[in-house]
Structure 1
Amino acid sequence: MTDRYASFVQSGAGRALVKRLGLPDPPRLRRHRPGDPLLPGPVLLGAAAGGRLVEPVGKLLTAAGVELREPATATSGDGTGQRYGALVYDATGITDSTGLRQLYDFFHPAARSVTPSGRVVVLGTPPAECAAPREATAQRALEGLTRSIGKEFGRGVTAQLVHVTRDGDDGTLTSLEATLRFLLSGRSAYVSGQVIRIGAGRATAPADWERPLDGQVVLVTGAARGIGAALAGVLARDGARVVALDVPSAGDALAAVANEIGGTAVQLDLTAPDAPPRLADHLASRHGRVDVVVHNAGITRDRTLGRMDADRWDQVIDVNLSSQERINDVLLERELIPTGGRIVSVSSIAGIAGNRGQTNYATSKAGVIGLVDSLAPALRDRGISVNAVAPGFIETRLTARIPLVIREAGRRMNSMAQGGLPVDVAETIGWLAWPASGAVSGNVVRVCGQSLLGA
């Protein structure tokens, strides 16, 4: 689906009109292309006094081929006219509210020096792990900073807060590298204003970061169209052997997706009583395991609650939530998801903010968040991570059916002033699926361009 307004804005006449009338100005987003450098410019790397992550982060970024620059004095700015591909700041040394001034001292001189589609990443300590209430208070304050930067810097610049556990291990550093590689690259074009938690856990760096899923067996449900088809393509590009699943009625489209990526197709109605054991038997016989399970299959049956029949309610809950639980139960019971495995579910900002006419859908997607919250700690000892993504307005055939006024509101009511693409959701799921992301668990990452809904 084409966003004609965004295309018009990119023209000379469009740019002049937008500037004159103060209309939304969708930037051209930097998206990942294989072989691209991680960033279009150097990283300005800074730290609060006593920061514990600046040294390892500097080493990780240097190893990734990123040029590093140190900040100038807070009072003078850098005075060089240098443009930065990203600003990265280690705020773990801030232990009380007075220390928050160090954020101003770092970001104020550099705020106008970030390139279009640049990146801002702040590293902090999970407030729950802080030694004293004042430290926890200061660390919680970082969320306000990053979310405001995401709305303020514009031009496609994204901003994130990454909480890194104090009780880290080698897996923590590996997952920190994976997270930085995702957040700084074009893969995260439509992800902004997020808080990502990195704990301790099993994580393995790839031999080639261009193929971070090399050799992994990945199941994608709902793979015939839209986000699912884009997801299958991204995972295959990253080296995975993709098992693409969808309902029999989508068989032709599913086969086309599987053939294009060199994967295999499975036609199965996930709501059938025998679907979980049949799927488990297939994975066991064909592959012996499934390293990553991506629960993407979902439906909508919209109607206001007072006008909704019971079948609409039951169908949405069954497909979007209950089927995920049943499949997880069987695959985990049979130990087909090995140590180091990944479960990634697709939620929605409707599950966070709610949506008129979608009580069934919002309930199911909030339930997916509950699934992540409950399974992540339960599977930690088995080395299996569980996360979810929550898409906002994504340009698909489903959103193309939304009435024009509502569709335009969905596109513009975010920091990017545009809808996302299926590939944006796919890239985020891909990062969560990487073996290097094993210490990233229990997260719900919104892929919404920092939507104003639920913000």
Structure 2
Amino acid sequence: MADRYANFANSGLGRTVVKRLGLPDPPRLRRHQAGDPPADGPVLVGAAPDGRLSEPIRKLLGDAGVQVAPSFTEGTRYAALIFDATGIADSSQLRALYDFFHPYARSLKVSGRVIVLGTQPSGLDAREATAQRSLEGLTRSIGKEFGRGVTSQLVYVAPGGEGGLESTLRFLLSGRSAYVSGQVIRIDSGSVDAPADWERPLDGKLALVTGAARGIGAAIARTLARDGAEVIALDVPAAGDALADVANSCQGRALQLDLTAGDAPARLAGYLAAGPHAGVDIVVHNAGITRDKTIARMSEDHWDSVIGVNLTAPSRVNDLLLERGLIPSGGRIIGVASIAGIAGNRGQTNYATSKAGVIGMVQSYAPLLADRGITINAVAPGFIETAMTAKMPVGLREAGRRLNSMSQGGLPIDVAETIAWFASPASAAITGNVVRVCGQSLLGA
């Protein structure tokens, strides 16, 4: 459904009205187009004394074809401000953040990027952990202050994790992360293989996408196919025609299967084992339903069906595919949670419970799968423009669109791009993360 207010706000008359009345000002976000460079202009890099990442960052950016500015030039509009805060070991050293961002804040382009790099507080001594945890407040505040489509992220990089940073830098700098802001991403140590072609990092990979017949699921299937994957698009038999259209559009395979059926995991495992790939490299658990009522008015069936589709089915599928060795080393499991699972939502106790469970699944499985070379992560969408949200009452729909740092809803492609980043072979050092795709929604912020 078209966002008429955003279209008006970006017209000549609308810009004048919005500015004079102080109304929400949704910018036109920079989204990825084929052939786009990782950054659409020069990048300014700063560092606290003793930072360990500034030189590796400069090399990574240079190798990626990003122009790294040797110093600040008055009047230049920068695509990104990147600050290496790994050298901050005490709260007294936080002043380095002010000294970098205060003079340069107004030099960012529309849809510019702010990235702060730090060290995960766990395992540090108390003083350093305190200072590093402070970075979260800075980046989340910048995301709310800078406006004009600027995003702000904090990336904690473990010592030895420098080699796993490139896929995240490319994602966060690019238009692929247009609706991701105010997030904390953790990169572990370990070796990572860069793809031969960053435009097709999933060449040779087989991806399974559930709930693929429409909306976000269809966008995920098409985006993974764009990046080189062979896609199995799965949905219930009732969605067969739409599912076939999606599979055909990405030259993939359609699989009609109700994952809540008792024998569904075994049937899926048999299908994957019998295929030419003899397994699956990427599993995206996107299938989900809502049955909204307050818990006092909710039927047993509405509770059970939402938990069954959104949480129990993915857990059963994971367990059987892993038990049978059908997800190899280098495999990716990606869940679709929701900001409702983080903040809760009136009338959605069943849905919020299921989506909080997806987050729990990610956090509990991650250390168990690490030794097998398999990562598990999740996205948590906020208000995304789909057929489902188009049916919402206008007041709730407008609140969902405006109550975030972008003052607009996201698009299915925003969720799909984030999942494609998790799916990349170059993201092998990223596991146990839950990244919100919500334009930095004020809900649960």
Could you tell me the TM-score, scaled by structure 1's length?
0.97
Give the partner amino acid of 1:430. A
Query: Of 81, 86, 92, which residue of structure 2 is paired with 1:87?
Result: 81
Give the partner amino acid of 2:312. S
1:376 counterpart residue number? 366
CA shift at 1:70, angstroms?
Answer: 3.8
Partner secondary structure for residue 44 of structure 1:
strand
Query: Of 122, 138, 143, which residue of structure 1 is paired with 2:131?
Result: 138
Answer yes or no: is the 8 Å Cα contact 1:203–1:340 preserved in 2.
no
Give the partner amino acid of 1:243. I
Are 1:390 and 2:380 an aligned pair? yes
Give the partner amino acid of 2:262. P
For 1:200 and 1:52, locate their aligned partners in 2 and report how far apart those are by CA, in whole Å. Answer: 14
CA shift at 1:203, angstroms?
Answer: 2.8
1:301 counterpart residue number? 291
CA shift at 1:289, angstroms?
Answer: 1.4
Question: What are the ranges of 5 or more consecutive residues in structure 1 without an aligned counterpart?
Answer: 73-77
1:193 counterpart residue number? 182
Query: Of 97, 105, 127, which residue of structure 2 is paired with 1:103?
Result: 97
For 2:216 and 2:281, locate their aligned partners in 1 and report how far apart those are by CA, in whole Å. Answer: 20
2:170 counterpart residue number? 181
Answer yes or no: is the 8 Å Cα contact 1:51–1:91 preserved in 2.
yes
Give the partner amino acid of 1:100. L
Partner secondary structure for residue 111 of structure 2:
strand
CA shift at 1:175, angstroms?
Answer: 2.5
Partner secondary structure for residue 398 of structure 1:
helix
Partner secondary structure for residue 386 of structure 1:
strand
1:6 counterpart residue number? 6
Answer yes or no: is the 8 Å Cα contact 1:29–1:156 preserved in 2.
yes
2:67 counterpart residue number? 67
Partner secondary structure for residue 206 of structure 1:
coil
Give the partner amino acid of 2:151. T
2:22 counterpart residue number? 22
2:152 counterpart residue number? 159
CA distances 1:52-103 after superposition (whole Å, capped 9, x unpaired): 011111100000001112445xxxxx4x211100000100000101100000
CA distances 1:102-159 after superposition (whole Å, capped 9, x unpaired): 00111111100000001000000000132x2111111000001100110001000000
Question: What are the ranges of 5 or more consecutive residues in structure 2 without an aligned counterpart?
Answer: none
1:244 counterpart residue number? 233
Query: Of 206, 209, 230, which residue of structure 2 is paired with 1:220?
Result: 209
1:285 counterpart residue number? 274
Partner secondary structure for residue 251 of structure 1:
helix
Are 1:54 and 2:65 an aligned pair? no
Query: Of 435, 438, 445, which residue of structure 2 is paired with 1:448?
Result: 438
CA distances 1:368-395 after superposition (whole Å, capped 9, x unpaired): 0000010000101001001000000000
Answer yes or no: is the 8 Å Cα contact 1:46–1:71 preserved in 2.
no
Answer yes or no: is the 8 Å Cα contact 2:53–2:162 preserved in 1.
no
Answer yes or no: is the 8 Å Cα contact 1:96–1:134 preserved in 2.
yes
CA distances 1:16-39 after superposition (whole Å, capped 9, x unpaired): 110111000000000001101111
Give the partner amino acid of 1:110. Y
1:336 counterpart residue number? 326
2:194 counterpart residue number? 205
Aligned length: 444
Answer yes or no: is the 8 Å Cα contact 1:86–1:118 preserved in 2.
yes
2:308 counterpart residue number? 318
Partner secondary structure for residue 330 of structure 1:
helix
**Higher mean C-alpha displacement, 88-97 vs 33-42:** 33-42
CA shift at 1:284, angstroms?
Answer: 1.2
Could you tell me the TM-score, scaled by structure 2's length?
0.99
Q: What is the root-mean-square deviation in Å for CA atoms of aligned residues?
A: 0.8
For 1:397 and 1:442, locate their aligned partners in 2 and report how far apart those are by CA, in whole Å. Answer: 30
For 1:203 and 1:184, locate their aligned partners in 2 and report how far apart those are by CA, in whole Å. Answer: 20
CA shift at 1:41, angstroms?
Answer: 1.0
Are 1:354 and 2:344 an aligned pair? yes
Answer yes or no: is the 8 Å Cα contact 1:122–1:161 preserved in 2.
yes
Query: Of 403, 422, 433, which residue of structure 2 is paired with 1:432?
Result: 422
2:119 counterpart residue number? 125
For 2:193 and 2:213, locate their aligned partners in 1 and report how far apart those are by CA, in whole Å. Answer: 30
CA distances 1:292-311 after superposition (whole Å, capped 9, x unpaired): 10000000000110000100
Partner secondary structure for residue 330 of structure 2:
coil
Partner secondary structure for residue 379 of structure 2:
strand
Answer yes or no: is the 8 Å Cα contact 2:163–2:191 preserved in 1.
no
1:75 counterpart residue number? none
Are 1:257 and 2:234 an aligned pair? no
Give the partner amino acid of 1:253. A
Answer yes or no: is the 8 Å Cα contact 1:125–1:163 preserved in 2.
yes
Query: Of 351, 354, 359, which residue of structure 2 is paired with 1:364?
Result: 354
